[in-house]
Amino acid sequence: MYLTYFDRDNDINIYFLYSPFHELLGSLHVLSKHEHHMPRQIWAEEMIKKLPTEIKDKILFYANVTSNFLGVIGFLENKKLWDISISECIGEIANISEVDFFYTIFNGEIDKQSIINAINSNYYNSSIPNKYVECLKGHKEYKKQFIIFLKEYYYNYFVNELSFTEPILIRKLKREFERCKEISVYDYIHSLHPRIEVTDNKINFHKYKLFEVNKENINQVIFKVDSYIIPHLLLGMDENQKLISLIIPTYITSYDDDKLPKDTLNIFKAIADETRMKIIRNLYRQPMSTQKLADRLNLTEACISKHLKILYNTDIVTKIRDGNYINYHLNQRIIDSLVLYIYEYINQ
What pLDDT, on a 0 to 100 scale, did the predictor assign at position 255?
63
8 or 258, which is more confident: 8
Contact at 8 Å (CB) between 266 and 314?
A: yes
What lies within 8 Å, CB to CB, of 308 at 6+ separation is: 279, 290, 293, 317, 328
What pLDDT, on a 0 to 100 scale, did the predictor assign at position 348?
64
What pLDDT, on a 0 to 100 scale, did the predictor assign at position 257?
66
What pLDDT, on a 0 to 100 scale, did the predictor assign at position 209?
84
Digit-coded pLDDT (tens) for 147-182: 999 999 999 999 998 888 999 999 999 999 999 999
What pLDDT, on a 0 to 100 scale, did the predictor assign at position 144?
96
What pLDDT, on a 0 to 100 scale, did the predictor assign at position 136?
94
**22-31, 112-121, 163-172, 314-323: the lowest-pLDDT one:** 314-323
How far apart are alpha carbons 33 and 337 in whole angstroms?
15
Mean pLDDT, residues 130-141 taken together:
91
How far apart are alpha carbons 235 and 208 in whole angstroms?
12
What pLDDT, on a 0 to 100 scale, did the predictor assign at position 301?
93
Mean pLDDT, residues 249-274 taken together:
83
What pLDDT, on a 0 to 100 scale, did the predictor assign at position 320?
81
Nearest in space to 218 (alpha carbons), one of 198, 241, 188, 192 = 241
Digit-coded pLDDT (tens) for 8-56: 999 999 999 999 999 999 999 999 988 778 888 889 999 999 999 999 9
What pLDDT, on a 0 to 100 scale, did the predictor assign at position 306?
95
